[in-house]
Amino acid sequence: MQTQVVDEALEGIEQRLRAGFPAVRMEFARQTFPNHVELWVYVLDLQHFDEVRAWCEELTRVEQLDQRAPEIWLMARAWKAPRPAAELEQELRQRRDEFRRRHNLLPR
Amino acid sequence: MAEPFETLVFVARLTRGEKDAIFGQAAAFPGSDLALRLVAAIDDVCLDRLLRAEGCLELARTFASQAAVGANGEELFRTAVGRAYYSAHHSIRGIALWHSHWDPDGHEASIKQLQLLLTDSGFVAKSGLAPDAWKRVVDARTNRHVADYSPYDWQRDPPAVTPVGITGQDWKTAADFNLALAEDLFKAAVRFVGS
């Protein structure tokens, strides 16, 4: 299958998911491998995770996504909100400062 | 002032072409906010890479020393081989990002970039690495593949050719080899980032 055709298929699945669950916050990620592509569906509203996962499993079964060439693996995943950026940045800054001290590094 | 996390992710994901275009713009305005922010973000990502390199290296040393005295030595040596290789991998990416402002994403790309950098005598002198150090990385990568994927001490694939074996054909030698490489690359990386 051509890359464009695969992209269109994945795009179509994303659109159907958004249309089927308009109130559910979701994000999508793709990974391409030699013989299959993976569409990861991150469900941010955890109370809707089970129904989204069931929808993905049903779509895979009905449309035989895993029988295509390349196969499409539809992966529903629960996803919590990321940590607050400020907290993460503060932690990273502390680690870097400590590393600089340990190795006597000066800023460029 | 540190750059926000989003900027670091942006810098770390730049392709070589994008990097050239953006740094071309920044170079036209030396001392500008864009140029300063890009360099600051790159420095932060380099340090984050070296932190990972150091963490992997420490773990590799621990596993190798435990393997030498305890039971289950082969599994511990295999783990040391893997951690040491990833330490080397992160050091290479840190060096490349610092030196070339571009993060070679992936194993093949990082080895190719090191190979390229080692053709520059100035780089060789400053890094303290031998001009053919990249070949040691290829050996270390093979050791890592065998350590993680093969039930034996050679690679199964491809089946039609002579199998590729680990360094020295024993796990202690392979772990020592990967550790020595990781130590050299980490030292080189710290030398660069500290210069």
Distance of CA B103 to the CA centre of its chain: 11
Q: How high is the pLDDT of residue A48? A: 95
What is the pLDDT, as a whole number, of residue A88? 83
What is residue B161's predicted lDDT score, i.e. its pLDDT? Answer: 64
Q: Which of B96, B105, B114, B84 is nearest to B177 (CA)?
A: B84
State which of A1-10, A33-42, B10-19 shows the largest mean pLDDT. Answer: A33-42
Residue indicated by tokens 């298929």: A9
Candidates B4, B43, B50; nearest CB to A108: B43
Looking at residue A26, what is its pLDDT? 93
Q: What is the pLDDT of residue B156?
A: 66
Interface test with A, best of B38, B42, B47 (most A CBs within 10 A): B47
Put simply, the answer to whether B51 touches A95 (Cβ < 8 Å) is: yes
pLDDT of residue A54: 97
Number of H helices, E strands in chain B: 8, 0
Cβ-defined contact of B5 to A104 (cutoff 8 Å):
no
Of A85, A99, A106, the CB nearest to B5: A85
- Please answer yes or no on whether A105 and B54 come within 8 Å at the CB atom: no
Looking at residue A3, its pLDDT comes to: 84
Whole-number average pLDDT of chain A: 91
CA distances from B15 to B102, B133, B157 (A): 7, 25, 31
Q: Which of B39, B48, B54 sits opposite A108 (nearest CB)?
A: B39
CB contact under 8 A, A96 and B47: yes
Inter-chain Cβ pairs, chain A and chain B, closer than 8 A: 35
Per-block mean pLDDT, blocks of 10 residues, chain B (195 long): 67 76 74 77 90 98 91 93 98 92 88 95 94 95 94 72 83 97 97 81
Q: pTM of this prediction? A: 0.83
What b/e sequence results for B91-112 when a residue is b if at least 16 CB atoms lie within 10 Å of its CB, and e otherwise? bbbbbbbbbbbbbbeebebbbe
**Closest partner residue to A99 among B2, B6, B50, by Cβ?**
B50
Instruction: Indicate yes or no: CB of B50 within 8 angstroms of CB of A108.
Output: no
A56-88 confidence digits (pLDDT tens): 999 999 999 999 999 999 999 998 777 777 888
